[in-house]
Amino acid sequence: MSVLVGRKAPSFTAQAVINGGEIVGDFSLDQFAGKYVMLFFYPKDFTFVCPTELFAFQEKLEEFKNRGVELIGISTDTEQSHWGWLQLDKNKGGINGITYPLVADTNKTISANYDVLVGDWDFNDEGEMIAHGELIAYRGLFLIDKKGVVRHQLVNDLPLGRNVDEALRMIDALQFFEDNGEVCPANWSKGDAGLTATHDGIAEYLTNN
């Protein structure tokens, strides 16, 4: 598993569904240059844990926007699959009401470049690709800063849903550090004090906490 933290986020251009129903053919990470991006991968459309995550992100969408963060979901399903799922009501297993972009990583290259692609593959003597297991994405999450650098990543196995509040906390921590130059100690939350990265600063923080 590659660690992308501190490195430039891999760029991509792909099909996507935006605004809950509009298919676009040239959705690119580059269009968000100069902005924060929260990029998250999920395994499959029309499944069980995935819609709970997608709706959880949607419920907090305004909080992402208030922090100046663009939210983008990705799976290895087609854009037609995304579109069909978006048209179904929640009580029928659909995700109608999701408005942030859902990218179609149908050739698996985005998932591979972010190193969240599940399964192994190789080529036989005839040059044919052989896959072992489904080629879908783990539950990867990547916080990308305004310079396009990954500042936080989290990868969960397929059965383990993520905590959206923790994703927001990491945005708050990054922006606090950028604004104040102070680092964020364990269990830091927005509104808490930071500490200066010096022996005196750490000693003072530990004494007061």
Tell me, yes or no, whether 147 lies in a domain: yes
Q: Note whether 29 and 71 are same-domain residues.
A: yes
Q: Report the SS3 class of residue 142.
A: strand
Three-state SS annotation for 12-70: CEEEEEECCCEEEEEEEHHHHCCCEEEEEECCCCCCCHHHHHHHHHHHCHHHHHHCCEE
State the burial class of residue 78 (Cβ atoms within 10 Å of its Cβ: 0-12, 13-18, 19+). Answer: middle
Q: Note whether 39 and 57 are same-domain residues.
A: yes
Cβ–Cβ < 8 Å for 162, 49: no
Domain count across the chain: 2
Q: Note whether 147 and 183 are same-domain residues.
A: no
- Tell me the torsion sign for CA atoms 134, 45, 64, 36: positive
Return the CATH number at 58.
3.40.30.10
Q: Is 184 a catalytic residue?
A: no
What is the distance in angstroms between the CA of the first residue and the CA of the last residue of the chain?
36
Tell me, yes or no, whether 5 lies in a domain: no
Q: Note whether 204 and 116 are same-domain residues.
A: no
pTM value > 0.85: yes
Tell me, yes or no, whether 178 lies in a domain: yes
Q: Note whether 133 and 184 are same-domain residues.
A: no
Report whether pLDDT(171) > 90: yes
Tell me, yes or no, whether 1 lies in a domain: no
Give 92-138 pLDDT, tens digit per residue: 999 999 999 999 999 999 999 999 999 877 777 777 667 777 899 99
Domain that holds residue 150: 13-162
Q: Note whether 144 and 169 are same-domain residues.
A: no
The beta strand positions in 109-158, using DSSP E, are 120-123, 129-132, 139-144, 150-156
Tell me, yes or no, whether 123 lies in a domain: yes
Q: Note whether 192 and 93 are same-domain residues.
A: no
Q: Note whether 78 and 171 are same-domain residues.
A: no
Tell me, yes or no, whether 181 lies in a domain: yes
Tell me, yes or no, whether 2 lies in a domain: no
Q: Note whether 141 and 174 are same-domain residues.
A: no
pLDDT greater at residue 199 or residue 106? 106
Q: Tell me what pLDDT residue 208 has.
A: 61
Cβ–Cβ < 8 Å for 82, 17: yes
From the candidates 50, 103, 117, 137, which is the catalytic residue? 50
Give 67-104 pLDDT, tens digit per residue: 999 999 999 999 999 999 999 999 999 999 999 999 99
Q: Angle 38-41-44 (CA atoms, 0-180°, nearest 5)?
A: 145
Tell me, yes or no, whether 30 lies in a domain: yes
Q: Note whether 154 and 200 are same-domain residues.
A: no
Q: Note whether 127 and 201 are same-domain residues.
A: no
Report whether pLDDT(202) > 60: no
Cβ–Cβ < 8 Å for 37, 67: no
Residue 143 has phi, psi (to 5 degrees) of -95, 120
Cβ–Cβ < 8 Å for 166, 188: no
Q: Note whether 121 and 170 are same-domain residues.
A: no
The helix-helix angle for 164-180 and 49-59 (nearest 10°) equals: 40
